[in-house]
Amino acid sequence: MRRYRLLLVAGFGVSAVLVGLLFFGNLNRNLVYYLTPDEAVAQRADFDDGRRLQIGGLVEPGSVVRTPDGLRFTLAAGTEPGSATVAAQHTGAPAQLFRSGIGVVLEGSWRGDVFISDTMLVKHDENYGAPDQQAGGAG
């Protein structure tokens, strides 16, 4: 019976190591709900066949143009200048909270270099504040 107890202890050790590997390894980067604009650009080749994907980023202030059936805007990875951007074209009514500077997740596919989306989810962050303290980096 001692042999089996030893096996149990060894099993615990191995599973602890595996769990650690999973959490601190790079699996987290694969298990994502959406890609960031820089990842989306880097993985363009994977999605050339019209496969749908989700891209999440911030709506670049001043880039929103209304079109007859939706919007055109630029999706940026971050607020600092020089971060990767994706040109997006969204068909359909925007979500209620949509504004420039806010985080959105778009679902759709590539057409050339433009990301054609038909589903838009607004991603709000964990920061809450009263309207008067309009801080920089809103979103």
| Site residues, other proteins (CB under 8 A) | 4, 8, 11-12, 14-15, 18-19, 21-23, 25-28, 30-34, 36, 43, 46, 51, 56, 95-97, 99, 102, 105, 119-131, 133-134, 138-139
C-alpha to C-alpha distances, 25 to 2, 34, 62, 88, nearest whole angstrom: 34, 19, 38, 32
Of 59, 81, 82, 83, the residue nearest 72 (C-alpha): 59
Q: Minimum distance from CB of 91 to other proteins (Å)?
A: 14
Q: Minimum distance from CB of 34 to other proteins (Å)?
A: 7
Q: Which H helix or E strand runs over 35?
A: none
Q: What token pair was written down for 64?
A: 């929103």
Q: Minimum distance from CB of 14 to other proteins (Å)?
A: 6
Nearer to other proteins, 44 or 66 (CB): 44
